[in-house]
Amino acid sequence: MMNIIRADFYRISKSWVTYAPFAALALFHVAMMVYGSISVTGEYTSGTMYVGQLLDLAHFLFALPLIPFVFCVSVPSFSDGTMKNDISWGMSRTKLYVSKLLIMVILSILLYVFYIGAGMGVATIVFGFGDAVPGYWMNLLQAMGAQMVGVLALCSVMIFLSFLLKKPYVLTEALAGILMIPTLINWISSLFNVDASRVLYFDLLSNIQGFASFHLLDSRTILIGFGVIAVWLLATSIAGITLLRKAEVK
Amino acid sequence: MTVLQTKNLTKSYGGKVAVDNVSLKIEQGDIFGLIGQNGAGKTTFMRMITSMSRPDSGQIELFGATTPAKLTAARTRTGSVIETPALFQNLTAEQNLEYYRLQRGITEKNRVQEVLGIVQLTDTGKKKFKNFSLGMKQRLGLAVAILGHPDFLILDEPTNGLDPTGIVEMRDLIKRLSQEGITMLISSHILTELAQVANKYAIIHHGRLIKTLTEAELHEECKRALAITVDDTAKAATVLETTLNITNYKQVSQNELRVYTYLDDPAEVSFQLSQAGVRVASIQVVGDSLEDYYTKMIGGTKS
């Protein structure tokens, strides 16, 4: 499997699409600094405050740039038809699927670290680091760690969808769609004036968002959050592997 | 040594049988030509061999392996190009090969350049696969297939869509590879094309294997001869030998003899046989071009 991962990293290193999410987030940080600087109220006043915002919005701001990764990692297997080279050469379908998932996870974690790290760096340069309450670093690392666990499941969902839908334009719509789920649930609940918090318990992105304030969560919420993430991770991984094992390779 | 053996391999799509109980055996060193019209089941057969498609029933034995896990391992000894070559559109020839070199754990770093040389694609530079001509794509597909020094090559219509020059180049390439001792299974719908490289043939039609024959048998089948149907072949043989001094003949069935001389004078043969009391039911010059033979085998008419 290491050979597959090595080869895929060689391949995706040749594509500008791989670097686009990093560039987009870097631009976003710079833009936010400009916006923050000219803002009358000064929305961001420190690096720590900006990072807090980034954690809060990670379920969308960070998740959105993951879409191009899917197009680098797994989509060419279908769009370029290269999967037949892998399968016909005797590559195990399970190995193939798991390796794509691992590559997606590695890229996503790198991007996540960049998302938070670059944000903190840029904001600290512009506004200064700010006040770090006692235990700040531990809280931050806990929140990042918990969100990264959620990102694993998000990667699994995305890779599963790419193997299920195959067609790039359908996949784009589906991936964009899943990022809209929390907003959609909130919108529907406010429209019909119902409490949607229980529904949001089962939403992956809402759990990632919730982990932004990990240190404030009670153990039951944390347990439910990790439970939901584990279910998404396992369900989509098993479904994806099963799908590929049974698929006719075109 | 048997490289590939299939037993009653069957595959249907939506109730339509694409491959119907196909059993064949490919020995080491064979250049096995799988001939059939478009839609005859050649590609489906190859897709099952390469695990791209699962058989409904039947067995595949590859390098002695029959269980799914062992078959998967055995497939690493193969190389294949099924249907059109599929490679990363945005990578160059060298990058595509480097990708597969890393993926397949091939440690020889110079193998990429070596293979590019074999398929004559060393001068493609930064040109991406998506900008390649069909002939170049076919050659690069073949390059990936041979990258890992396979023992068995599976090529599906390797000359499909190529211009005459491309066909000649691809044929020469296949010949060169065959000289290196690689066993091959090559499909085509053009028998004359296959005949230039293959030494064994299987004709597949409507998913069924209708004939398997060696190069010698094929030439024999296509050899021009007088096909004489008589009531008594033993007596007819005596007449041929004693009266007409013919030794170049053979009995092909209970009532049929084939004579490889006197092709321009069947009347004389018929006359002599009749004179000797042999009843001649029919006498005609037979012998096909490869195309005629193939057309006859699949029960069609030559267009």
Q: Count of A–B CB contacts within 8 Å? A: 84
Interval A105-139: pLDDT, tens: 999 999 999 999 999 898 888 878 877 778 888 88
Mean pLDDT score of chain A, rounded to an integer?
Answer: 87
Other beta carbons within 10 Å of B113 = 13
Distance from CA of A75 to the nearest CA of B (A): 11
Interval B106-149: pLDDT, tens: 998 899 999 998 888 888 889 999 999 888 898 899 899 999 89
- Among B54, B76, B98, select the one facing A89 at the smallest CB separation: B76
Kindly state the percentage of chain B with pLDDT values over 70. Answer: 98
How far apart, in whole angstroms, are the C-alpha atoms of residue B225 and residue B193? 24
The residue among B45, B52, B106, B109 with the most chain A CBs within 10 A of its CB, best to mutate, is B52
The pLDDT-based confidence of A157 (bands split at 50, 70, 90) is: very high
Do residues B19 and B9 lie in contact, with contact meaning Cβ atoms separated by under 8 Å? yes
A13 interface with B at CB cutoff 8 Å: no
Of the listed ranges A171-180, B78-87, B220-229, B289-298, the least confidently predicted one is B289-298
The answer to whether the Cβ–Cβ distance between A90 and B87 falls below 8 Å is: no
The answer to whether the Cβ–Cβ distance between B90 and A87 falls below 8 Å is: no
Number of H helices, E strands in chain B: 11, 13
* Angle in degrees, CA B244, B245, B246, rounded to 5: 90
Determine the pLDDT at residue B303: 40
Chain B residues close to A80, C-beta within 8 Å: 86-89
Domain spans of chain A, in order of start: 2-246
The pLDDT-based confidence of B301 (bands split at 50, 70, 90) is: very low
β-strands B256-259, B225-230 pairing: antiparallel
Domains detected in chain B: 2-219 (3.40.50.300), 224-286 (3.30.70.100)
ipTM: 0.85
Render the burial of B241-256: b for 16+ CB within 10 Å, e for the rest.
eeebebeebeeeeeeb
Interval A37-83: pLDDT, tens: 655 455 567 788 888 888 888 888 888 888 899 899 999 888 898 99
- Among B52, B100, B101, select the one facing A87 at the smallest CB separation: B52
Cα of first residue to Cα of last residue in chain B, in angstroms, is 40
Predicted model pTM: 0.82
Phi, psi of B173 (to 5 degrees): -65, -45
